[in-house]
Structure 1
Amino acid sequence: MKIFRVLVINPGSTSTKIAVYDNEKSIFLKNIKHSNEDLEPFNTVAAQYEFRKEVILNELIQADIDIERIDGIIGRGGLVKPIESGVYAVNEALKHDLRVGILGEHASNLGGLIADDIANSLPHAKAFIADPVVVDELEDVARVTGCPSMPRRSIFHALNQKAVGRLFARTRGFVYEELNLIVAHMGGGISIGAHKEGKVVDVNNALSGYGPFSPERAGTLPTGALIDACFSGEKTHEEMNKLVNGNGGLVAHLGTNQAYEVEKRIKAGDKHAELVLSAMCYQIAKAIGGCAAVLKGKVNGIILTGGIAHDDFVIKYIKERVDFIAPVAVYPGEDEMTALMQNGLSALREEVECRVYE
């Protein structure tokens, strides 16, 4: 079997994770932390581009990785235009939208740009992104709200949801496209998707929209109360945004974004902490039930994933309320590096056809 060498680049707000694989075998993995002092000189995320690229190259050199042998480089997809799930070869249109941040500024926008730049310096390397958070496969009926100017938008943990969906299918002798699944990704944000034969036909906007509240996000709020808060004069536009994305959820109630810390408080007898975490789990279970309705009750499996899937309290609470719908599988954590590698290998092996971003 031909050995393909793949470099994976996953930029986060204060770190850049990189990994090198020879086929599925990991030969190098590094989580590069960026201090406030490192990032302070840059006014925007886009301005960090050269800095982050050089840090990556230096780490590869220090690890004696022969970059000339790299066949493919895959970066975490950023906030581009809504697109279908899949692997995308980096092209000029994609690079333009990553640079300008067409749907917003985020460190993940740098993934495809750095991948392309490094690939262009190598003899035969190709650059890709895969399953960014803006993957949009919603059915039309799922987009409509009571305000025509405010349609529902698909922003969710597409990379991990798709990866665990494929893993669930593969370990049971099926292919992902044959199954109806409900996947709940539970991390700093929470997204619950209805996967209908390979497409996420309904999912909540996990960034700053609706759905269950999460460790850092407020989720669905009473509309009237939210309007009153916006016009009360007590908070600025920026402060209101922070209220729903960053300072909401567990942070607002309990002053922490760590579910395991809340679970420790519960074990120590904190009844308020138990109520708040129960409420978050209750909302997750309700959203899973809603996805079951989307799939007309024909559900092959429910998958609980993300960092919070390590917490026994959370898993037990949700299972008790949804396992009547379908068997529940738990895949704790979020292995984005492996998911990106698998997508890159599939493209290099021509097991999937690369999509064209337009």
Structure 2
Amino acid sequence: MATVDIRRLVKRYGAEEVIHGIDLSIRDGEFISLIGASGCGKSTLLRMIAGLEDISGGTISIDGREVNDVAPKNRDIAMVFQNYALYPHLSVADNMGFSLKLRDVPKPEIVRAVGEAADLLGLTPYLKRMPKALSGGQRQRVAMGRAIVRKPRVFLFDEPLSNLDAKLRVQMRTEIKALQRRLGTTSIYVTHDQIEAMTMSDRIVILNGGRVEQIGAPLDVYDRPANLFVATFIGSPAMNLIEATARRDGDRLFAETDDGLRLPLDGYGVAEGATVTVGVRPEHLNFVSSDAAGALPFAIDLIEPTGHETHVFGRLGRHQVVVIHSERVAETSSASLAIAPGGIHLFDRATGQRIERS
């Protein structure tokens, strides 16, 4: 187990800078996910930690030891790749123990280490098999076992589940998290799948264009996104956004759209005339009767039943929104919505930054 400290980390390819001064501290035994769209720099950052990419600026330290110029094999880390990277001519046992063999570890110790890892991963019956005789999930377990036998201080995962089918992904992410908790090894996990990041991580790091947008516990990031990018990136379906202007009516503050829609901004200290973006999660829009307090007319365009919930797409005025409803919704063309208490997120339209309640 180990701490990982990243300070003002920069990566350049020629004149182009792709990682822009990232700061990140990872606690001993923590499971942290790096998430973002393709090209955001998450895999590049992971490879820099592994020593597979040169560092253009800043420092990376593991347990207080700077490793900028330390070879990958001497960083005491183990990496699990997206494509398994198994040797097709070696058995499961030989694949798992290969790194120990290269280090001239005595054969009895290799057998013991491989056996312990196989027990952890449910691979004991398959130790004599070749990779071609394994399923995708079993191959990924072998790749994890190869990392475990090294007993590294840090695990690095580079989108390890992206080649698996949906059902197996769910199973494997549960297994990876349970294994990490059992071993207590500091783990850094790269994914583009927000469900993986939300369900597996102690904290998530949202990257955008080589910069950190927000770091926090999954539910904290979901409940209090730091800016519009995070608000729309985390959550599926994405947060509904409505551009408006702050207006006062007596003692009450509203966000008023250009087509006359008025959304209450109770608790916010925004100046009259400020341009804002109102965000509402789809599950915080509730169907109500048309005469209910705060009811908003909703024109329905499409209803998508998913089984355990229903996604309803439509318009509040001219603004496209989606509603997540926990029950079945009958086919209809119109309804009324109300925003759940505390369901409004407010952002400065110019900067995109979150505005907190007073």
TM-score of the pair, normalised by structure 2:
0.23
Higher share of residues assigned strand: 2
- Specify which structure has the higher proportion of helix: 1
Give me the TM-score of the superposition, normalised by structure 1: 0.23
